[in-house]
Copies of this chain bind each other. A is one copy, B any other.
Amino acid sequence: MYGKSPAAECPARSANAAELTGNQLSCCNCGLHRICLPANLPAAEVRTVQEAVRRGRALPAGASLVRAGRRMQALYFVRSGSAKDYSLTSGGEERVHAFHLPGDAIGLEAFAERVHPREVVALEPLCYCMIPVRRLEQLMDGLPGLRQEIMRLLSQAINDAHRLHDSLGRTGARERLADFLLNLSRRLERRNLSPTQFRLTMSRRDIAHHLGLTLETVSRMLTGFKRQGWIEVRQRYIKLVKPEALLALAGVSDAKGD
């Protein structure tokens, strides 16, 4: 975890079955309601939508939330914890497409073929909500606000992907990593977590495979930043000491990145 999450408590020992699937699930009471799906939904629609929301079983680290190639059953939302979204190259290498944080939607890419194109695994114990697609489709046909919001999420996902393309485009390893750290920082900030001090939930290898680098290079660049006094690193703990320096490196990226 990146620190104390604003999300409702979601211990791995979890609640009992009744709570897991019951309708008493309330988006309004959820700590993520300003970040998650309901954030941009008309209040009236939130009430209807939250009745369709189901809570998934807590996943241990390493477990798959969605399997590549599996038929889309629902749209998922991270409640607590984090996950990585990756595929395997023909050479067996991982290509990490995204890291998901609390409030993030998972499975948007599946609307096209109704099949999840990639695997999504928990990087740490993970809790999530879900809306069955069938129900979601029904709801969208009646709730313009929901329809619009889902489209917004889809569109945002396109922008996020292009943002990544921007980063991998032609910049060096240093620039990519700086951009990655800042982007992560921004996303944490929006979740009311510290933007300057956090714990990486992913390995250097994951970061490398996300940025199109090797883990050695990622490691070297991190210690490089440290030597420059721009960050502090100890294991997976990161502290951004001079974000301005990183920002200068990454290029003034005004992207939202979420």
Contact = CB atoms under 8 A, between A and B. Distances in A.
Interface string A157-193: 1110110111011100000000000000000000000
Interface residues of A, number: 43
Is the contact region of chain A dominated by helix, strand, or loop, or is it mixed?
helix
Contacts of A158: 108-109, 112, 154, 157-158, 161
How many copies the complex holds: the figure is 2
A150 B110 CA distance: 14
A90 B58 CA distance: 43
A197 B171 CA distance: 33
B90 A170 contact: no
20 contacts: A89-B166, A89-B169, A90-B252, A93-B170, A95-B170, A108-B155, A109-B155, A109-B159, A110-B155, A111-B154, A112-B156, A117-B159, A117-B162, A137-B144, A154-B155, A158-B161, A165-B168, A168-B169, A170-B212, A170-B213
Interface of A: 87, 89-91, 93, 95, 97, 108-112, 117-118, 137, 140-141, 144, 147-148, 150-152, 154-159, 161-162, 164-166, 168-170, 209, 212-213, 251-253
